[in-house]
Amino acid sequence: MLDIAEELHRWVEQGRDFAVATVVAVGGSAPRQPGAALAVDADGTVIGSVSGGCVEGAVYELCRQALEDGETVLERFGYSDEDAFAVGLTCGGVIDILVTPVRAADPVRTVAAAALAAAARGEAAAVARIVSGPTQLKGRALLVRPDGSHEGGFGAHPELDRTVAAEAGAFLDAGRTGTLEIGEQGSRCGAPLTLLIESSVPAPRMIVFGAIDFASALVRVGKFLGYHVTVCDARPVFATRARFPEADEIVVEWPHEYLERTEVDGRTVLCVLTHDAKFDVPLLKLALSLPVAYVGAMGSRRTHLDRNERLREVGVTDLELARLRSPIGLDLGARTPEETALSIAAEIVAGRRGGSGVSLTGAHTPIHHEGAGTPTPTTSSATAPA
């Protein structure tokens, strides 16, 4: 449910009753991953998605039923089921969906409200719910925060809440959503329980260096992909809110100085669009030494070769240079700022998800990749100024 936290938080503030369906586990070629959610309120309003359209109708009815009877249910949809075509899951996958009513009197309401409020504010939080196990434990939840504090619980063995809180904290540290198998007494003893632990962490960062027209298009695409986008440029006449209304943050500062003081992590992507040596060299020297997900630099092939030589002169190693995606982006034949932004975003997504960047037509690669990989080297790129 944290997948649609902002909308659900508004529903809670408005006092609406609703039921939320959450993907618990997937197998095969399922379109959405664990944590994807769909919710239905008492008036029949729908938000979110659990299957990209395949089984939404059937899940909608499950939510309506949960609102009526107050029962938490686990339902499986799969290609091998007799009714697979009836509900439309024809992609060959299997998805398990947990449907939980969140009404004013339901025990999950208080914990869900706190978790949704934290996620809507962009704060890190994890929430655990019972997927399968003793009936009396269903419909309850436990919220865990980064400092280890927690609220709510399952009202069973006291060790259960402590153990789940510790396990959920580990999920939260990794930014992971998935299931946990545990005994009802908080150990491997007792009746087995399966819990869904959803983690919500702040949006990953995209930092765009160079307030040029290409940057404006990249900001829009970055926001579309869910990044917290910062634009940085040392020139105040270009780095303005009027030119980048959709950016989360605009910084007027020398790029390498800003990168030295700002916070980055393993999900951060750095896009260097300045193609000016006095900005690029000190910035890329620092960027290539940081544990970020992606470093890309715009420029022609001539600019790229010249920049590499300048970087070697200031001590950047060949191993570090191998991390640099330059010329930036995948080969889409892009020319316009919007096309170039799409090219850059495609390379970022391929690196994040372990994609090859080749056309799926005629390929024998998976459509959905299980984990992240490294960006695939490309032989060409978006057209960019020299």
Residue 384 has what pLDDT?
38
How far does CA 27 lie from the centroid of its chain? 19
Q: Are 268 and 207 in contact (CB under 8 A)?
A: yes
The residue ranges of every structural domain in the chain are: 1-102, 107-201, 205-353
Residue 184 has what pLDDT?
74
Residue 92 has what pLDDT?
61
Q: Are 115 and 196 in contact (CB under 8 A)?
A: no
Could you tell me the CA-to-CA distances from 306 to 302, 309, 312 in Å, in that order? 6, 5, 10
Distance between CA atoms of residues 275 and 251, nearest Å? 18
Q: Are 272 and 287 in contact (CB under 8 A)?
A: yes
Complete DSSP assignment for 288-318: TTS--SEEEE---HHHHHHHHHHHHHTT--H
Complete DSSP assignment for 180-226: EEEETTSSS-SSEEEEEEEEE-PPPEEEEES-SHHHHHHHHHHHHTT
Q: Are 125 and 202 in contact (CB under 8 A)?
A: no
Whether the bond between 327 and the residue before it is cis, its omega within 30 degrees of 0, is yes
Residues in the chain where the model's pLDDT stays below 70:
29-31, 79-92, 156, 186, 188-191, 363-386
Q: Are 11 and 87 in contact (CB under 8 A)?
A: no
Comparing C-alpha atoms, which of 240, 251, 214 is closest to residue 338?
A: 214
- Relative to beta strand 37-41, strand 46-48 is antiparallel
Residue 353 has what pLDDT?
82
Residue 305 has what pLDDT?
92
Residue 367 has what pLDDT?
60
Complete DSSP assignment for 120-176: HTT--EEEEEEEES-GGGTT-EEEE-TTS-EEEE-SS-HHHHHHHHHHHHHHHHHT-
Distance between CA atoms of residues 15 and 169, nearest Å? 29
- Relative to beta strand 294-297, strand 141-144 is unpaired
Any idea what the Cα angle at residue 158 is, between residues 155 and 162, rounded to 5°?
105
Q: Which residue has the tokens 């992240």?
A: 372
323-357 burial code (b ≥16 CB/10 A, e <16):
bbbbbbbbebebeebbbbbbbbbbbbebbbebbeb
| Polymer length in residues for the chain | 386
Distance between CA atoms of residues 357 and 329, nearest Å? 10
Q: Are 202 and 260 in contact (CB under 8 A)?
A: no
Residue 159 has what pLDDT?
85
Distance between CA atoms of residues 317 and 311, nearest Å? 8
Complete DSSP assignment for 312-359: HHTT--HHHHTTEE-S-S--S---SHHHHHHHHHHHHHHHHHT---S-
Residue 132 has what pLDDT?
87
- DSSP one-letter code for 242: T
Distance between CA atoms of residues 318 and 338, nearest Å? 32
Q: Report the CATH architecture of 205-353.
A: 3-Layer(aba) Sandwich (3.40)
Residue 79 has what pLDDT?
55
Residue 56 has what pLDDT?
87
Give me the sign of the Cα torsion angle 164, 23, 33, 45.
negative
